[in-house]
Homo-oligomer: A and B are copies of this chain.
């Protein structure tokens, strides 16, 4: 076989794994949205089997042989950038997956399932002591895996290897420096906001809007953003779940939201957020479909897109200038909502205890707390039984709030119970990236906010498609962001964006 034949066979195997993954995605989506409640046992058998098959596909020894044949071939250097990146990405997954003993992978999967269940019970009963033993077991297994991955990924610490699962090549040092600067900037901004006497009132957001109307609003929002969920050619759809999410790839990307009768804004911002994720998946370069480079770059970059559409677009005055009349047409009960009051209400800043309910500004502090705890936990600076104390202290220090019990404290998120260590930093990295992107868009398209006020999203959509979405996984995240915005990871543009926006709202 010549190098091109080997390459094509390798890509064909990668394509199978990707297509298989999209089928698994449908099964997961069905579980969250459609599955009859009594089908849990059958579904867990299906998922375990599909996961096993997927693992077998990714660790097929033939992949190793093809990789060796390609990389040792003298013509390897003549391959183009896209082909080399595909080979790099396949090699990365293959080496990582084959490095983990099957027994450990199975134990981890089992302990994750157990720990999530225990977490649910412990959270309901507000008892961290119930959660602790299984959390400790899951942490031990995750550390065991992280220590193996550290060698393959050549990271400085096990925790960094876990971060690399979500944000490739990102280092703990870089995050620490960037988050420290972000934290300082946020504290200053929050002081000014707190000192302001011109605070928004969010009462108008809590009027009654029937689910039927909220459903129409959701559809109109996705349509306005360029994410088609309703036409006879649609590649997307909207369903309902308690926790909104996005799943899918290219031709079939689905989002979920929830319709609270007395909090219609909740669904609006969920839909804007998830639509950002969906647009990224749909705007990937179609020529790379099912290839490793034909996928999104990282969790952080994914989050930069969702946060951009949710906050930079969706919480801007310009967007609502054009969208408010449409909103009122669909939901007559909102006929008397004033644009300015609405804009202020959706940008109210408040120190709070729950991450998923936090506003645009304080959200990042919630994330920084989690990052610091994870980092110190894996560096043995914190023990599991100290978690509630450390958590509560940080919430008092950074957010000035008193956590009453561990359900609204250290047990509020599912991530640690699900084995998702190293995931949290992506949320704040996404915000920081979105700040860099916003600054660059403003430079490249000085008129974009005026266009937005006229209801024209295409200039911004096209910029993102060209500079982020269509780039797929051709670059590591920081490299992609540098190519798109001209600079490495830096929280300054994001802080500047926040300061300008909230100065106008709070008048400091």
Contacts and interface: CB of A to CB of B under 8 A. Distances in A.
Interface stretch (A42-50, A116-124, A345-353, A381-389): A42-50
B49 A235 contact: no
B36 A235 contact: yes
Contact of A27 (B23, B235, B251): B23
Q: State the 6 A-B residue pairs at the shortest beta-carbon distance, nearest first.
A: A39-B252, A38-B235, A23-B46, A42-B251, A36-B234, A39-B251
Interface stretch (A14-22, A179-187, A467-475, A500-508): A14-22
A248 to B, nearest CB: 8
8 contacts: A20-B49, A26-B30, A26-B46, A34-B34, A38-B228, A38-B234, A38-B252, A40-B251
A433 interface: no
A236 interface: yes
A332 interface: no
Contacts of A251: 36, 38-42
Given A26-B30, A27-B23, A233 B37 contact: yes
Nearest to A228: B38
A249 interface: yes
Given A38-B252, A53-B53, 14 more contacts: A19-B46, A23-B23, A23-B46, A23-B50, A26-B46, A27-B27, A36-B234, A36-B251, A36-B252, A36-B254, A38-B228, A38-B251, A39-B235, A43-B252
A407 B234 CA distance: 30
A152 interface: no
A232 interface: yes
Nearest to A16: B49
A116 to B, nearest CB: 20
Nearest to A290: B45
A36 B250 contact: no
Contacts of A127: none
Contacts of A34: 34, 237
A35 interface: yes
Contact of A233 (B38, B232, B233, B235): B38
A158 to B, nearest CB: 34
Contacts of A22: 42, 46
A441 to B, nearest CB: 28
A20 B53 CA distance: 10
A252 B20 contact: no
Majority SS at the chain A contact face: helix
Contacts of A45: 19, 290
A436 to B, nearest CB: 32
Interface residues of A, number: 37
Interface string A388-422: 00000000000000000000000000000000000
Contacts of A252: 35-36, 38-39, 42-43
Residue of A20, A35, A39, A50 most packed against chain B (CB within 10 A): A39
Given A26-B26, A26-B27, A26-B30, A42 B233 contact: no
A41 B27 CA distance: 18
Nearest to A49: B19
Nearest to A250: B42
A468 to B, nearest CB: 22
Given A42-B252, A53-B53, A237 B36 contact: yes
A39 B229 CA distance: 12
Contact of A36 (B23, B236, B290): B236
Contacts of A27: 23, 26-27
A466 to B, nearest CB: 22
Contacts of A235: 36, 38-39
Contact of A232 (B37, B40, B41): B37
Nearest to A18: B45
Nearest to A235: B38
Contacts of A20: 46, 49
Contacts of A16: 49
Contacts of A38: 228, 233-235, 251-252
A49 B36 contact: no
A32 to B, nearest CB: 12
Nearest to A53: B53
A232 B38 CA distance: 8
A92 to B, nearest CB: 23
Interface string A201-224: 000000000000000000000000
A193 to B, nearest CB: 42
A222 to B, nearest CB: 12
A146 to B, nearest CB: 31
Contacts of A37: 232-234
A38 B30 CA distance: 18
